[in-house]
Amino acid sequence: MKLTGNEILITGGTSGIGLALATNLLEKGNQVVVLGRRQDKLAAVQVQHPKLLTFQADVGQPESLQPLLTWLPAHLPKLNMVINSAGIMQPHDLLDPHLTLTALTADIQINLMGTIAVDQLLLPQLLAQEEAMIVNVSSGLAYLSSAPHPTYSASKAGVHMFTSALREQLTYADKNQVHVLELVPPLVSETGLQSGDLAGSFGNMKLADLVEVTLKGMAQNKPRINAGAAKILQKMEQIMPNQAEKMIAKDSLKQFFPEGL
């Protein structure tokens, strides 16, 4: 797929991977709207990048997305690319009796349900285009669970499965003009998704390198981009899943719960 002259919506576009992709695609001559929850962050991004469009909505609250259906025809009438990058990652002590279900499932609501909601809402618009693309961002932790982040891993595994199912349904319906790509990043400490100093951690990938790999894969219509150490995590899941998860858990649980559970 060509990466110029497109009309693109990016969720989670005020920071991290979403913002990095937004600014790079804007420079390539695309029209880009970034969607985010907080108006102050959207305003700050627009000050830095005046050519970016912004839209306030919370993918974790599907009803807030409905105004897009009337906003898009006036601003991006030929929307042909959606990148689902909105996400959160929270550690949870599953043994904590005070842990609420709302807190526990927030990652699922935003990461998985938000992705599903955006794809479902905008798929008719994408199907009407000569060529279109959906990019859903999962994680290397969709392959191997992170013990401190049980619902983050569950949400990204769900994104992985949903993306594959969406791709196959479009193929079965002979709607191959809509390319469906799963971006599987490793740890990218620059995004600040996880707390703490993780720059020296295993598999940490520079954000600029991730963007470069992603844009290359998009141009090639790849179904899946296992970026950096995500390739290793996928291989470990295939050949030694139990041992790998125990190894990851041993270090990560001590990092996030140093006083125990």
CA gap 86, 160 in Å, rounded: 15
Please name every residue paired with 249 in a beta bridge, in sequence order, or none if there are none: none
Catalytic entry in 52, 76, 84, 152: 152
- Residue 194, pLDDT score: 61
Torsion of CA 209, 229, 30, 19, to 10 degrees: -80
Q: What angle is formed at CA 195 by the lines to CA 34 and CA 259, rounded to 5 degrees?
A: 150
CATH of domain 7-256: 3.40.50.720
- Quote the pLDDT of residue 190: 86
pLDDT at 191: 79
- Positions of E strands within the chain: 7-11, 31-36, 53-56, 81-84, 132-137, 178-184, 224-226
Its pTM stands at 0.94
Q: What is the pLDDT of residue 196?
A: 52
Q: Are the CB atoms for 248 and 201 separated by under 8 Å? A: no
Please tell me the predicted confidence (pLDDT) of residue 259.
85
Alpha carbons 3 and 139: distance in angstroms, whole number? 23
Identify the pLDDT of residue 34.
97
Q: What is the pLDDT of residue 200?
A: 46
Which tokens hold the place of 104? 């526990």
Order across the sheet with 224-226: list the strands.
Answer: 53-56, 31-36, 7-11, 81-84, 132-137, 178-184, 224-226
What is the rounded distance in angstroms from the CA atom of residue 253 to the CA atom of residue 70?
Answer: 46
The CA-atom distances, in angstroms, between 247 and each of 149, 232, 236, 261 are 15, 14, 11, 18
pLDDT one digit per residue (tens) for the chain, 261 residues? 999 999 999 999 999 999 999 999 999 999 999 999 999 999 999 999 999 999 999 999 999 999 999 999 999 999 999 999 999 999 999 999 999 999 999 999 999 999 999 999 999 999 999 999 999 999 999 999 999 999 999 999 999 999 999 999 999 999 999 999 999 999 998 876 665 555 445 678 999 999 999 999 999 999 999 999 999 999 999 999 999 999 999 888 998 898 888
152 is catalytic: yes
Structural domain boundaries in the chain: 7-256
63 burial class (0-12, 13-18, 19+ CB within 10 angstroms)?
exposed
